[in-house]
Structure 1
Amino acid sequence: MTTEQLYKELNYVNHSREKRLFYANLMQDNPELVPRLLDILFRVDDKISPRAAWVFEFMCNHNIETIVPYLDVFTEHMHKVKIESAVRPVAKICEFLVTAYTSKTDNIIKTNLTQTHIERIIETCFDYMINDVKVAPKAYSMTTLFMFGNSMDWVHPELVRILQDDFSKQSAAYKARARHILKKIKRKQK
């Protein structure tokens, strides 16, 4: 399947679990298609880009290790994604990555996620926190930054500052997640 054939196929992807699962399985069964999916995902002004993001998120949620060969490409370009419905899955994938990376069990993410990848993820998550994006990407970013901040001492102070500065201007959902993260950071400081 060529990139343009995949592009046409993505027209059939919607928010239904059934469609996203079908295309995520297609990617896992045909890993040669994943670079093409990422190519479409990073066409950041294209209305099909979010559909590629949904499929990629679903694929990563099913098995985060499938992202390993694409960590360089994903982390290098993820900051370019601007369409709101594509930003949410990108932020969620960052949360999947940090969860695997900080897991107590050994996994392939721990050995393949480099300092460069981590720095790119942190930078993108901070961008989501300070820019005008919806609550979901901010919430995923809070969690990602909190978890990376457990091993990088400069992250928590920056995150606390942003959460406190933005608290009064944000939605109830943002405030709930922010309170939760701030409590966790405070407990770690004791």
Structure 2
Amino acid sequence: MTKAELYNELSYVNHSREKRLYYANLVIDNPELIAPLLEILFDVDDKISCRAAWVFEFMCGENLEEIIPHLDTFTQNVSKVHLDSAVRPMAKVCEYLIKANYSKADHKIKHHLTDIHRERIVEACFDWMINDEKIAPKAYSMNSLYLLGSEYDWIHPELAMILERDFSMQSSGFKARARHILKKIKQ
């Protein structure tokens, strides 16, 4: 399947779990499609990029190790994503990566997620925390930053400051997650 054919196929992706899972499995079964999928995803002003992001998130949810050869591309471009429908899945993929990296299990991601990759994820997560994003990317970012703070000692104080500063202006969902993260930081 060419990039153009994949682009056309993505027009059939919708919010349904079935469609996203179908195309995620298509990409998992054809790993040569990951690079063109990322090219479409990171064409950030094209509305189809959101659909590519949904598929990519589901692909990572099903088989996170598929991202390993593409970590450089992903982390170099993740901060460029700005459409709401694409930001949420990108924040979720970052959370998948960080959870795998800090899990007790010996996950292959631990051997491939470099300091540079983690620093780029930190940057993207902090951007999502301070920008006017919806609750989901902020929640995923909070989790990622909390975990990263176990390695980078400057993250927890910065994260706590942002959470406390924004607490009163945010939704109840943000407040619940922020309370949880702040409690963990203070322990």
Contact 2:142–2:159 at 8 Å: present in 1 too?
Answer: yes
Amino acid across the alignment from 2:2: T
Contact 2:23–2:55 at 8 Å: present in 1 too?
Answer: yes
Residue 80 of structure 1 aligns with which residue?
80
Contact 2:76–2:120 at 8 Å: present in 1 too?
Answer: yes
Displacement of 1:124 in angstroms is 0.3
Give the number of aligned pairs: 187
Matches of residues 7-86 of structure 1 in structure 2 within 5 Å?
7-86=7-86
Amino acid across the alignment from 1:181: I
Query: What secondary structure is seen at the aligned counterpart in 2 of 1:174?
Result: helix
**Residues 84-108 of structure 1, C-alpha deviation per residue, up to 9 Å, x if partnerless?**
0000000000000011000111111
Residue 163 of structure 1 aligns with which residue?
163
For 2:24 and 2:172, the matched residues in 1 are separated by: 33
Q: Percent identity?
A: 65
In structure 1, runs of 5+ residues without a counterpart are none
Residue 115 of structure 1 aligns with which residue?
115
Displacement of 1:150 in angstroms is 1.2
For 2:150 and 2:168, the matched residues in 1 are separated by: 26
Residue 102 of structure 1 aligns with which residue?
102
Amino acid across the alignment from 1:139: A
Query: What secondary structure is seen at the aligned counterpart in 2 of 1:12?
Result: coil
For 1:65 and 1:99, the matched residues in 2 are separated by: 13
For 1:63 and 1:35, the matched residues in 2 are separated by: 16
For 2:65 and 2:182, the matched residues in 1 are separated by: 30
Residue 143 of structure 1 aligns with which residue?
143
**Residues 147-182 of structure 1, C-alpha deviation per residue, up to 9 Å, x if partnerless?**
010121110000000001111111111000000000
Displacement of 1:64 in angstroms is 0.9
Amino acid across the alignment from 2:183: K
**Residues 26-51 of structure 1, C-alpha deviation per residue, up to 9 Å, x if partnerless?**
10110001000000000100010010
For 2:181 and 2:150, the matched residues in 1 are separated by: 12
Residue 179 of structure 1 aligns with which residue?
179
Displacement of 1:2 in angstroms is 1.1
For 2:33 and 2:65, the matched residues in 1 are separated by: 16
TM-score, length of structure 2 as denominator length: 0.99
Residue 2 (1) aligns with residue 2 (2): yes
Amino acid across the alignment from 2:64: I
